[in-house]
Structure 1
Amino acid sequence: MTAAALSDITVMPPAEAYDFDYFRDRVDAELFSRSIAIRVFRMPLLAVPAGRTRRGGWFGVDKLAIALAVRDILAPLSGFPDLRITWQREPRGSYIVEWGECPPATWSDENERLTFYGLVQPSPGCPCTPLSAVSS
């Protein structure tokens, strides 16, 4: 991993993450309390561990060097088993750092996807961010 890749990444408290409110209302509270924010360049996003109701997770980045750095950050932490880097073609090409179980190649419906990632529907009045805008 290059020094430039490391300089572009900062580990931050979960509350600093852009998608903090989104996950707070949708993920098991115990898992949420063990999450971390990872800022790549200027935007911090949450990395939520697997476990309990959550079978896996992912964090998307544009460059392989950044994916390797994110993987190295998550490796010593509890709740991020079986870390791997994959290439995702849709919705746009990017590297994905995944952990936990491997997700299916296709989802039968949105509820199957939400269940795999341990996400629940938000309570009424919750600000909604499209799932494609956040890491899982």
Structure 2
Amino acid sequence: MSVLPAAMAYDYEWVAGRLLDPVVLGGAVALALFRAPLLAVPAGGCRLGGYVDAVDERTAHEVVAVLGGRPGFSGLRLRTVSGPVAKVLVEWGERVPEGLDARARARFYGFRAPAAGAGVAPGGGHLGSGPSRAVRDRLAGVGRRRGSPVRFRRRPLPGSSTGAVRDEGPERRPEAAASGAAPAR
């Protein structure tokens, strides 16, 4: 696992744009757990706690070792979340009260509350769906322009029952290139 400057995290812009008190980003770090670095933002100010999805227990212990002793990352603990795919979260700060709605949960983590009726799904240690298309493309090394006829092929991994896929692109879509039309989204 690598520790990188916070701005290198794939979700940095998403988090920075939603934090009520962006000053806490001063103590944040990017943790390169796997391929993409994830942002770990310390607790502080109106941010009462945080977490990172470490996927498995071995990785979770590595995260604890890296974050331990850093300001804003007190009370480090592991929590196993069961579901279709069990995962291990590394949490810090205060414990999240049970039964919070999406707006209260966002406030607990120091984020602006989502608009009424907007679904909020935790992802990558934060509340949200992850990075924008431009950030994903930048991380994948794709200089994708709007309307580009380039896309990635996604193929199921052999023997995977979880729906995991492998990106095998880029691939040119002849019909889009010939017609000049933008790719379907």
Q: Bin the TM-score by the shorter chain.
A: 0.7 to 0.9
Q: Mark the CA change 1:18 to 1:131 in structure 2 (over 3 Å): closer, same or farther.
A: farther
Partner in structure 2 of residue 37 of structure 1: 30
- Matched AA of 2:95: C
For residues 78-89 of structure 1, the aligned pairs below 5 Å read 78-89=71-82
**Contact kept in structure 1, 2:40 and 2:51, CA below 8 Å:** yes
User: Of the candidates 42, 67, 70, which is equivalent to residue 63 of structure 2?
Assistant: 70
Partner in structure 2 of residue 132 of structure 1: 122
Q: Which is higher, the Rg of structure 1 or of structure 2?
A: 2
Distance 1:100 1:131 in 2: 20
Distance 1:77 1:13 in 2: 14
Q: CA deviation at 1:78?
A: 0.3
Q: Mark the CA change 1:50 to 1:21 in structure 2 (over 3 Å): closer, same or farther.
A: same
**Contact kept in structure 1, 2:32 and 2:38, CA below 8 Å:** yes
- Matched AA of 2:61: L
Q: CA deviation at 1:90?
A: 4.7
User: Of the candidates 40, 47, 50, which is equivalent to residue 54 of structure 1?
Assistant: 47
Distance 1:132 1:90 in 2: 14
Partner in structure 1 of residue 158 of structure 2: none
SS of the residue 1:81 aligns to: coil
- Matched AA of 1:111: R
Distance 2:44 2:50 in 1: 10
Partner in structure 1 of residue 106 of structure 2: 114
How many residues matched? Answer: 120
Moved over 6 A (4+): none
Identity percentage of aligned residues: 35
Partner in structure 2 of residue 93 of structure 1: 86
SS of the residue 1:96 aligns to: strand
**Structure of higher RCO (CA pairs closer than 8 Å, 6+ residues apart):** 1
SS of the residue 2:14 aligns to: helix
Q: Mark the CA change 1:91 to 1:45 in structure 2 (over 3 Å): closer, same or farther.
A: farther
Over the residues paired in the alignment, what is the CA RMSD in angstroms?
Answer: 1.7
Q: CA deviation at 1:121?
A: 4.8
Q: CA deviation at 1:60?
A: 0.7
Distance 2:92 2:52 in 1: 9
* Bigger Cα displacement from structure 2, 47-56 vs 28-37: 28-37
**Contact kept in structure 2, 1:23 and 1:32, CA below 8 Å:** no
SS of the residue 1:87 aligns to: strand
SS of the residue 1:53 aligns to: coil
